[in-house]
Amino acid sequence: MLRVYGTSASGNCHKVRMALEALARPYTWTEIDILRGTTRTPEFLAMNPNGKVPVLEIEPGTYLAESNAILWYLAEGTPLLPSEPLQRARVLQWLFFEQYSHEPYIAVARFLRKLHPDPASQRALADSKMSGGYRALEVMEGHLAHTPFFVGERYSIADIALYAYTHAAGDGGFELERFPAVRAWLDRVQAQPGCTPMSA
């Protein structure tokens, strides 16, 4: 059976849970406490030398890292990933947008303000993430003004990847009220099978 080594409060890990639930794939979840350095132990680094969650154990001894690579692997051949080449490339475009232009601002601001052991000490750093995060939300707003989902007018792993930290952006101090198309899209994603908000 598939096993996820993940942290429930991490959006990157939550993506994997959402895909598995949407596909009704059986899996086991092993909770990893990133604040206690569990991802830096020799055992963890043997699974992912880059020391990050999530890690998917496909079979004993076979591991796959990087949340969006895991999403792609799980979604291949299912309705969560289109079959047409350009649409598939557009899914990837949004997955890379998420990891480069969205997560480093919106996820990091949330971590510093909500999950860090001493948020007050991190305020200046968290504040420095706001303009980049708002730029990402503006790009999403412009796109979602014209389409119900990110690619091909159908729910896909592009939506799962971007939902993960967008629905929790308020934790990082972002005002989603300014983005009506993003909010309507969040509602549409939340109506999909297997979609749940993060627990933390």
As measured in angstroms, the least distance from the Cβ of 189 to its own copies is 20
Edge-to-edge order in the sheet of strand 27-31: 27-31, 2-6, 55-59, 62-65
As measured in angstroms, the least distance from the Cβ of 197 to its own copies is 24
Among 13-21, 68-76, 113-121, 165-173, which window interacts with its own copies (CB under 8 A)?
68-76
Name the percent of the chain in helix, strand, coil, to the closest 5.
60, 10, 30
The Cα–Cα gap between 104 and 114 comes to: 15
As measured in angstroms, the least distance from the Cβ of 125 to its own copies is 12
For residue 127, CA distances in Å to 59, 117, 120, 122, 173 come to: 42, 17, 11, 9, 9
> Which residues, in sequence order, are CB contacts of 34 under 8 Å at separation 6+?
7, 10, 53
Q: Does 66 bind its own copies (CB under 8 A)?
A: yes
Exposed/middle/buried for residue 13 (C-beta within 10 Å: 0-12, 13-18, 19+): buried
Task: Tell me whether residue 100 or residue 178 sits nearer to its own copies (CB atom).
Answer: 100
As measured in angstroms, the least distance from the Cβ of 100 to its own copies is 5
Task: Tell me whether residue 96 or residue 190 sits nearer to its own copies (CB atom).
Answer: 96
Q: What is the pattern of x (binds its own copies, CB under 8 A) and - over residues 77-116?
A: --------xx-xxx-xx-xxx-xxx-xx------------
Paired residues of 65 in beta bridges: 55
Tell me which of 26, 42, 49, 60 binds its own copies, using CB under 8 A.
49
Give residues in contact with its own copies (CB under 8 A). Answer: 49-50, 52, 58, 62, 64-70, 72-73, 76, 85-86, 88-90, 92-93, 95-97, 99-101, 103-104, 139, 142-143
